[in-house]
Structure 1
Amino acid sequence: MLDKHIIDFNESLIGLRDFVELIDPFLNDKVEEHDQHVRPLVASALLKELLSEHSEWKEGEKEKFIAMQEKIQSQIDSKYSEETEVIFEKEESDDKKVKSFSIKIKSNDDTIADHISNVKKANKHISLLYTNSLISLLSNVEWFFSQILHYYYDQHPESAGVQKRTLTLKDLKTFGSVEDAEKYLIDVKIDEVLRGNFESWTSLLKEELGLGLGYLKEIMDELIEIYQRRNLFVHNGGVVNSIYISKVKEILRKDIQVGDKLIVEKQYLENSICKLQKAFILIGSELWKKLSPEDENRGEILGNIIYENLLHSRWDISEGLCYFSLNDSKINPVDKTIAQINYWLCKKELGQYSQISKEIKNIDYSDKKEIFQLGLFAIRSETEKIIELLPVVLESKQTNVERIEEFPILREFRNTPEYKEFKENSKFFKEENKEVITVDTTEK
């Protein structure tokens, strides 16, 4: 079922994020452990270069930098037994502008060499973590894409064009039935699709599966760049080739030329995960809607994915999934109301409140449950009304204090003095924090 595929895909990306977050601090601690010994050497070299090259100084400024450099150098001399020389080298362009610079450290002290070597090693490990995570991300995407294609073609084999394909007699003898042969041809078809580029995937989704994919329009260029960058790491050691240059929009490859070696930074990786998570969950959801328009589970499953992303302030992903839910006529009214409130929250957090302010101002939730009214008041930042409703919501058990403390939509409200006062005086929080004291009455 497509619901299971979507859940599994979402969980695989959560797992990828968790893995990076688990390993990344450890590697960065390793860098810092050794970098703190190298940093003074670099600072000394940069200050020497500044003092030799710079000619215009404000009163007392040069003396300040000289004192700073001498202090750092004194620390270096007292720390290392062998004489240490730090050389600043720069490469200039034809117009005498600095293109690049490097710092070389010459020393007979093995301690310095070890620290420099360990910094390089740890930085390489960090680079490998991000690069391999990007490759793993695209592997997860390809797996999910193949799963939804299998799901669709198993129901609509004629769309795969298997009737027009031929098999040899030798091939036919290996199959136990016509159904087995049909499955084989579908596998061949999907394998061919996966070997294509990202643009061919979207063409197939539109032309053969009949999907609209309107939600991909704004991020299509970014998705192509992510896909092409992954290809560089898998097939070309991360070195830019003419294929990358021809496929990627110029605005996304500014100052990148053939022969340059690309890297994957943490922010780039996180952005890639977010873009692909949003795009392919929407692709899976649109196909699900096309094949099973009456299935109400869609709203609940998307709602759970949205909430998980709201907790981590991934507003863009949540906004896209909320918008899809709002335009799904078969989603349960309760799920749709939740999607509406969360959509407004995403717009507000993305700095787009002006787009919804009129709607927010005029909407009336008086006919809805208090928990939904609470969400609306939170969007409007109406603190007094939230305080008024909180006891009602908690008394009627529409939610509990744990969720009040967790709801992303109440994050702003939780920082107000009114909320702090409410917590101090509310019986609900007192009951929650009440300690159970047990007395051991066993005779000794």
Structure 2
Amino acid sequence: MMFKKFISDVDSFYLTIDRIDQDSEKYEREVDDFPIGMQTMILFKRKELESLQEESEDYQITEEDNLVITLSNKLLESSKLMKKVYDSLNFKKIDDEKIELLSSSPGLMKFIEYKISEDGENLDLFTDRKFTLNSILINYCITLESLVSNLLKDVFIEKLPEEIKNRTIPFHELVNLNSIDDAQNYLIEQYMDDFFRSSFDDWIAKTSKFMKLPQNNIELDDVKSRISEMYQRRNLIIHTNGIVNKQYTNFVKNSKYNQGDTIEVGIDYLRDRLKDMEFLGWHLFSGYCSCLYNDDNAFAALNSEIVKRLNKESVALPLLLDYFSAYNKFSDSSYNLIAKVNYFLYYKFNGEIDKVKDKLNNFSVGHLDTDFKIAKAVLIDEDDLCEQIQKYIDDLSDEDFFIVSTFPIFRSSRNWISIKEIFNQRLKEVFD
């Protein structure tokens, strides 16, 4: 399923960002062992930064700047040669965009130039790092568009909107189509090819309408706004080498960047936008399910994916589960209760159960089926939990036991090892 791929891609992005972050820490530990040419490039960067700070009191330190400062400080403390190189350097401004580095020791600079040549290429680790971070941002946009494209195609196949129905097929294409389904798929592909040529704001507004996403939702609207800025930043990276233009400042209100600034894509920024993208992805998938299924089955499809992620930090999941716990259109009210249990379970898996302690204490289960009584007993880790579960398991048929044994809630208990033994014993009895 396309949504599973989206979530898998999100996880891969998190891992990649973590590795880059770890590389930054690794650079700090190993900078003393870098080739002289690479060490010198770090000092050049430091001098350029000092020039920018001297030129403007309002200059804002970037994530990359902080790394330059950290690495150069360590070099200046540990290497007499690098201290001598640094002290010999001064800068001369050629124009608004270019700074020329000069040295008071021509002989020393001749030696450094020789070492840079001897060490070879790829000495500027900041250029490689910047390229990688920019590439990740561009791939965020590709991943999100791929998800939306695939979700919408399924929705359109189920019910073709008027704006696609009213499209025409050229005769030379029509003769190659063998059926109505072929014609429908052609029109959908043609529509989707044009769809993403508009701005993010335009196509996400259309997508929200097709998917019937909630209107005037503060959290969702804020996420869309931040992703819109991400797309504008993507455009700068591709078209202006990151230099802020008038289009960016017109689109992005209250930005810290001014026209002519160089925009940065840092690790913290990428993490934040990935959280936003995941948030939007979950809401799109929820809307997708509601387009294809009735209310009960839509939640069942959504929940089957949610339970796989309850142990991972997410802004979207507790909001969605809280919404569906109070949803009044289910024909089977047990879906409200499942949503409520999973809402609490999300917080328990993530070590934040105290945040919803009052709500959990007020969750009355005395009138409910045994399944929900056991669920609350697990959530609050009642003292006699193992005894309750033993009795609960003993009363289940073999078929029901197989189903219950897959419920993730039991793994959240601090008594999981003992509970696991109860399950294993029952499983042994089933097959003996």
Normalising by structure 2, we get a TM-score of: 0.66
Cα contact 1:35–1:116 (8 A) shared by 2: no
Q: Secondary structure at the match of 1:257?
A: coil
Matches of residues 291-310 of structure 1 in structure 2 within 5 Å?
291-294=292-295, 296=297, 298-299=299-300, 301-305=302-306, 307-308=308-309, 310=310
Task: Answer with 261-270 or 356-365: which moved more.
Answer: 356-365
Task: Answer with 101-110 or 285-294: which moved more.
Answer: 101-110
User: Alpha-carbon deviations, 1:182-228, whole Å to 9, x = none?
Assistant: 33222221222111112212332354554435542232321211222
Aligned partner letter, 1:125: D
Task: Measure how far apart 1:123 and its partner are.
Answer: 3.0
Matches of residues 28-427 of structure 1 in structure 2 within 5 Å?
29-30=26-27, 32-34=29-31, 76-77=79-80, 80=81, 84-86=85-87, 108=111, 121-163=124-166, 165-208=167-210, 210-215=212-217, 216-250=220-254, 253-254=255-256, 256-294=257-295, 296=297, 298-299=299-300, 301-305=302-306, 307-308=308-309, 310-312=310-312, 314-327=313-326, 329-330=329-330, 336-344=336-344, 359-366=359-366, 367=368, 368-369=370-371, 370-377=373-380, 386-393=382-389, 407=412
Q: 2: distance between equivalents of 1:32 and 1:104?
A: 29
User: Alpha-carbon deviations, 1:358-409, whole Å to 9, x = none?
Assistant: 54343223444454123542xxxxxxx5343245337756989x978963xx
Aligned partner letter, 1:229: R
Task: Measure how far apart 1:143 and its partner are.
Answer: 0.9
Cα contact 2:242–2:263 (8 A) shared by 1: yes
Q: 1: distance between equivalents of 2:345 and 2:423?
A: 30
The alignment-based identity, stated in percent, is 18
Q: 1:392 to 1:36 in 2, by over 3 A?
A: farther
Q: 2: distance between equivalents of 1:387 and 1:244?
A: 59
Q: 1:406 to 1:372 in 2, by over 3 A?
A: closer
Q: 2: distance between equivalents of 1:35 and 1:258?
A: 38
Q: 1:76 to 1:10 in 2, by over 3 A?
A: closer
Q: 1: distance between equivalents of 2:151 and 2:189?
A: 12
Task: Measure how far apart 1:22 and its partner are.
Answer: 5.0
Q: Which residue of 1 aligns with 2:57?
A: none
List gaps (5 residues or longer) in structure 1. Answer: 50-71, 92-100, 378-384, 433-444
Cα contact 2:230–2:273 (8 A) shared by 1: yes
Cα contact 2:245–2:260 (8 A) shared by 1: yes
Cα contact 1:323–1:343 (8 A) shared by 2: yes
Q: 1:297 to 1:154 in 2, by over 3 A?
A: closer
Q: 2: distance between equivalents of 1:197 and 1:218?
A: 17
Q: Which residue of 1 aligns with 2:9?
A: 12
User: Alpha-carbon deviations, 1:98-121, whole Å to 9, x = none?
Assistant: xxx999986536798599999963
Aligned partner letter, 1:319: P
Q: Which residue of 2 aligns with 1:53?
A: none
Cα contact 2:243–2:261 (8 A) shared by 1: yes
Q: 2: distance between equivalents of 1:214 and 1:81?
A: 57
Task: Measure how far apart 1:139 and its partner are.
Answer: 0.6
Q: 2: distance between equivalents of 1:296 and 1:174?
A: 38
Q: 2: distance between equivalents of 1:375 and 1:274?
A: 29
Aligned partner letter, 1:239: I
Q: 1:403 to 1:153 in 2, by over 3 A?
A: closer
Q: Secondary structure at the match of 2:87?
A: strand
Aligned partner letter, 1:318: L
Q: Number of matched residues?
A: 365
Q: 1:196 to 1:84 in 2, by over 3 A?
A: closer
Q: 2: distance between equivalents of 1:428 and 1:306?
A: 19
Cα contact 2:91–2:102 (8 A) shared by 1: no
Q: 2: distance between equivalents of 1:193 and 1:280?
A: 18
RMSD over aligned Cα, in angstroms? 4.8
User: Alpha-carbon deviations, 1:89-144, whole Å to 9, x = none?
Assistant: 699xxxxxxxxx99998653679859999996333333222221221121111111
